[in-house]
Amino acid sequence: MAEALDFSAKVRNRAGKGAARAARRDGRVPGVIYGNKQDPVMITVDPIELLKQVSASGFFGRVYNIDVEGTAHRVLPRDLQLDPVTDQPIHVDFMRFSAQTRVNVDVVVNFLNEEDSPGLRLGGVLNVVRHAIELLCRPDNIPESLEADLTGLEIGDGIHISDIKLPEGVEPTITDRDFTVATIAAPTIVEEEEAEDEDLEGEEGLEGEEGVEEGQAGPEDSQGDAEKSSEQED
C-alpha cells in the first residue's frame, strides 16, 4: 500500500465555467473536492505540481492529503480532464472518503523472474492479457502494484488471477471466473516457413525450365528430322 502524498491547493471562490476560465488565465488548474456527505470545495492547483503527480504511475490509485489553505482533506483522484490540443490538465476532481468507502481502481501488474521461466528461455513469448487488474478495496488499502511470478512456467502455461497474491481486504471486480492475466506463447516461425516455401518454389521452377530445354526440340532439329524422313522415303 502506497503512503498518502501531500498536496496543496487554493480556494476558488466561484463555481462555473467563467470562474474556471479565469483560474486558467491566472496559470492555475481548477478543480473540486467532493464526497463523504460534505459540501464540495472549489479549488485551484499548481499545474506543474499536478503534472508531476499525473506523470507518475498510478495517479488514480494514490491517496492524497490536500491542504486547502489550512484545511486538510484526505482524497482520491477521480477524474482528470485534458485539453484536446495541448494535452495539458484543465480540470481535476478529488473525492473524500470514509473508513467504509470502497472504490474500483486499476492496479498495474509487474511480471517477475522472467529468467527463471523455462518457456521463455526456450524462445517463448510473454503474452500479457491484462497489464492492469481492476480491484475493489478501501482507498487506504490500494496496492501500488501486483506481482506475477513467472518462475517455472513452460510454453503453454498461463498465470491466472488466483496465482497472484492480493492484500487482505482487496478483491478483483471479476469474481465469476479465474481469468487469465498472461500466458507463455510458443515462438513465431512464420517468416522462416515462408522463406522455405519460396526456396522450394524457386527450385521447382528451375527444374521445370531444365525439363523444357531437354525435351523440346528447337527449330533446326525439327528441320533436320524432316529432311531425314524425306530422304528415307526417296
Of 109, 90, 123, the residue nearest 21 (C-alpha): 90
Q: Are residues 140 and 180 in the same domain?
A: yes
Q: How many whole angstroms separate alpha carbon 22 and alpha carbon 16? A: 10
Strands 5-11 and 64-68: parallel
* Tens place of pLDDT per residue across the chain (234 aa): 567 888 899 998 888 888 889 999 999 999 999 999 999 999 999 999 999 999 887 889 899 999 998 999 999 999 999 999 999 999 999 999 988 899 999 999 999 999 999 999 999 999 999 999 999 999 989 998 999 999 999 999 999 999 999 999 999 999 999 999 999 999 876 555 555 555 555 555 555 555 545 445 444 554 555 444 444 444
**Whole-number pLDDT of residue 234:** 45
Q: For the domain that residue 171 is a member of, what is the CATH number?
A: 2.170.120.20
Q: Are residues 89 and 148 in the same domain?
A: no
Q: Are residues 126 and 111 in the same domain?
A: yes
Which among 67, 96, 125 is the end of a domain?
96
Q: How many whole angstroms separate alpha carbon 174 and alpha carbon 141? A: 18
Which among 61, 81, 96 is the end of a domain?
96
Q: Are residues 115 and 64 in the same domain?
A: no
Q: Quick check: 154 and 131 in contact, CB under 8 A?
A: no
| C-alpha cell, 128 | 500479457
Query: Into how many domains does the chain fold?
Result: 2
List the domain range (segments joined by +) for residue 29: 5-96
| C-alpha cell, 25 | 488565465
- Work out whether the CA dihedral 50, 53, 59, 60 comes out positive or negative: negative
> Has residue 206 been placed in a domain?
no
Order the strands of the 132-137 sheet from edge to edge.
Answer: 146-149, 103-112, 132-137, 171-172
| C-alpha cell, 206 | 528451375
Name the amino acid, one letter, at 47: P
Cα dihedral: 148, 155, 162, 60 (round 10): 40
Q: Are residues 110 and 156 in the same domain?
A: yes
> Has residue 196 been placed in a domain?
no
Of 56, 48, 58, 55, the residue nearest 28 (C-alpha): 48
Q: Are residues 123 and 66 in the same domain?
A: no
> Has residue 68 been placed in a domain?
yes
Q: How many residues does the chain have?
A: 234
Q: Environment class of residue 33 by beta-carbon count within 10 Å: exposed (0-12), middle (13-18) or buried (19+)?
A: buried
For 54-88, what is the HEC assignment?
HHCCCHHHCCEEEEECCEEEEEEEEEEEECCCCCC
Q: Quick check: 2 and 142 in contact, CB under 8 A?
A: yes
Q: Are residues 107 and 35 in the same domain?
A: no
Q: How many whole angstroms separate alpha carbon 181 and alpha carbon 161? A: 6
Q: For the domain that residue 71 is a member of, what is the CATH number?
A: 2.40.240.10
Q: What is the DSSP letter of 188?
A: P
